[in-house]
Amino acid sequence: MANEILNSLLKEYEQKKLKSEIDLEKRKEELYTKIPKLKEIEDELNYSAIQIAKQILNNQDSSLITSLQNKIDNLKKQKQNILKSENIEPNYLEPYYECALCKDTGYIKDNYSQSQMCSCLKQKLLDNAFNKSNMTNLNNQNFEKFNELIFSNKVEFEKYKRNISPRDNIINIKNRCEAFIDNFDNPNHKNLLFTGNTGLR
Ligand SMILES: [Zn+2]
């Protein structure tokens, strides 16, 4: 089950990533029609990147690699200057990822180059567990909304097999719960266990 949830979340991530890349292509297309110089710069950037890769693979002269790197830096600066002069945000030609940390892949590399789950994916898994726990309605279902008056103050031993009224009983339960919360950090404080017939709450 946990795996199914993870897999379906990862599928969502793939879709998100794909969408941000398609959106980027649309933005590029529109902007390049308007400012063809940007398209030229992009083509030259791509070409230079391929040249660098080739030089590195062939173990060529490092001064050539440095000069190509300088060229790339220069092209990037030119691109940023054009964007600035057009009042366009600097990252307009980058994909807009929902999570900049993992670029919507759900995973990041740690200091040892090991793949780690990104905090956004961990949060999604937690949210999922939280939704299943019936705790999503905390705005309405909390101690501030607690009203003991809806419980009868009549002791009915025959019905409830208890010598206290349902109202006193629920007040006791509430006090126990509050004590549990107040002592949540105390390792010596006992846990709470709710029991009852299926469907009771
Ligand atoms: Zn992330």
pLDDT tens digit string along 69-104?
A: 999 999 999 999 999 999 999 999 999 999 999 999
More confident residue, 50 or 161: 50
Determine how many CB atoms are found less than 10 A away from the CB of residue 197. Answer: 5
| Segment 190-196 mean pLDDT | 81
Phi, psi dihedrals of residue 146, rounded to the nearest 5°: -65, 130
In whole angstroms, give the CA distance from residue 50 to residue 38.
18
pLDDT band at 119 (very low <50, low <70, confident <90, very high): very high
CA of 7 to the centre of ligand 1 (A): 15
In whole angstroms, give the CA distance from residue 95 to residue 88.
15
Distance of CA 24 to the CA centre of its chain: 21
| Segment 57-67 mean pLDDT | 83
pLDDT computed for residue 134 by the predictor? 67
pLDDT band at 137 (very low <50, low <70, confident <90, very high): confident
CA of 108 to the centre of ligand 1 (A): 7
pLDDT band at 142 (very low <50, low <70, confident <90, very high): confident
CA of 44 to the centre of ligand 1 (A): 31
pLDDT band at 112 (very low <50, low <70, confident <90, very high): confident
pLDDT computed for residue 154 by the predictor? 93
CA of 21 to the centre of ligand 1 (A): 16
* pLDDT over 70 (residue 107): yes
Burial of 72 (0-12, 13-18, 19+ CB in 10 A): middle
Identify any residues that bridge with 108 across adjacent strands, giving them in sequence order. Answer: 116
> Does residue 152 contact residue 166 with C-beta atoms inside 8 Å?
yes
The contacts of residue 105 (CB under 8 Å, 6+ apart) are 13, 17, 118
CA of 64 to the centre of ligand 1 (A): 37
CA of 101 to the centre of ligand 1 (A): 5
In whole angstroms, give the CA distance from residue 97 to residue 25.
14
pLDDT computed for residue 1 by the predictor? 61
Buried b (16+ CB within 10 A) or exposed e, 15-39: ebbeebeeeeeebeeebbeebeebe
Identify any residues that bridge with 117 across adjacent strands, giving them in sequence order. Answer: 107
Element housing 104 (H / E): none
In whole angstroms, give the CA distance from residue 165 to residue 20.
60
* pLDDT over 90 (residue 160): no
pLDDT computed for residue 59 by the predictor? 76
pLDDT band at 195 (very low <50, low <70, confident <90, very high): confident
pLDDT computed for residue 3 by the predictor? 84
CA of 102 to the centre of ligand 1 (A): 4
CA of 91 to the centre of ligand 1 (A): 18
| Segment 126-155 mean pLDDT | 83
> Does residue 108 contact residue 118 with C-beta atoms inside 8 Å?
yes
Interstrand relation of 115-117 and 107-109 (parallel, antiparallel or unpaired): antiparallel
